[in-house]
Chain A
Amino acid sequence: QKEVEQDPGPLSVPEGAIVSLNCTYSNSAFQYFMWYRQYSRKGPELLMYTYSSGNKEDGRFTAQVDKSSKYISLFIRDSQPSDSATYLCAMKVRGKLIFGQGTELSVKP
C-alpha cells in the first residue's frame, strides 16, 4: 500500500463550481498535512497547512483532515480558470514531506 494516495485526475470543472480534492494515507505517524499548488514546470506553492483533525478555511479554500479515517480533503469554492493547476497533498513525518501524485485540475470558463 502506498503511503499517500491521490487520484491524479485530470479533473475538469466549469468556472464557479466547488472542487473537492482528496488524499488518503496509511502512516499514522504523519503529523502535519499540507496542500500545494503547482503550475507547469514551477515549484510547489503552499496553499494550506493543518495539524489537527477538523477544518481550516482561507478565503475560497477549505482544508479538512480526518485522522481517524486517514483522509484529507481540499475544497475550492467558486473555482476560477486561474485555479487550473496540479494540486499536491503532502504529509510531514520526521521533518520530511511525503507527497501524493498530484491531481491535475482544469477550470473551464
Chain B
Amino acid sequence: EPEVTQTPSHQVTQMGQEVILRCVPISNHLYFYWYRQILGQKVEFLVSFYNNEISEKSEIFDDQFSVERPDGSNFTLKIRSTKLEDSAMYFCASLAGVNYGYTFGSGTRLTVV
C-alpha cells in the first residue's frame, strides 16, 4: 500500500538552529500538508500546499516556518530559528483529491534543547 515517508524519524537540535523536515508524499497525490502534535495535545494543522503554493496556513505557521516542494517528489518544512516550544511530532500528510481521506506519515519527532 502506498505510504507517506518522513525523514528523519527523530531530530535533536539546539535552540536557534535551522531544521529541515523532509517528506515524500504518495506519488499521485495533489495536496500536501504539515501538522504537528505537541506531546499530550491535539494534532494541529500548520499548512496546506497545492499547485506549488501555500493554500492555507494556521496562526502557528509564522515567518519562522516555510515549506517547499523542490522537485517532483519531496515536500519540506523548514524552521529557521527553532524555539523550545517547537518541540513536537511533525506529520506530513497527502491527499489524492477533495473527496478522499488524508494519508499521514509516521512523523518526525523534533526535540529542541
- A residues with CB within 8 A of B: 32, 34, 36, 41-46, 49, 51, 88, 90, 94-102
- Most-contacted residue by chain B among A97, A101, A102 (CB, 10 A): A97
- Across the interface, A41 reaches (CB within 8 A) one of B4, B103, B104, B107, namely B107
Determine the chain A residues whose CB is within 8 A of the CB of B91 once the complex forms: 43-44
Determine the chain B residues whose CB is within 8 A of the CB of A41 once the complex forms: 89, 107, 109
- Most-contacted residue by chain B among A42, A95, A102 (CB, 10 A): A95
- B residues with CB within 8 A of A: 4, 6, 31, 33, 35, 42-45, 48, 50, 55-56, 58, 89, 91, 98-107, 109
Whether B100 and A44, one on each chain, are in contact in the complex, defined by CB atoms closer than 8 angstroms, is: no
- Across the interface, B100 reaches (CB within 8 A) one of A45, A49, A88, A99, namely A49
Measured CA separation A88–B33 after assembly (Å):
18
Whether B45 and A97, one on each chain, are in contact in the complex, defined by CB atoms closer than 8 angstroms, is: yes
Whether A99 and B103, one on each chain, are in contact in the complex, defined by CB atoms closer than 8 angstroms, is: no
Query: What is the CB-to-nearest-CB distance from A58 to chain B, in angstroms, rounded to a whole number?
Result: 12
Q: A41-B89, A44-B43 are in contact. Are A97 and B107 (CB under 8 A)?
A: no
Query: What is the CB-to-nearest-CB distance from A1 to chain B, in angstroms, rounded to a whole number?
Result: 15
- Most-contacted residue by chain B among A43, A94, A96, A99 (CB, 10 A): A43
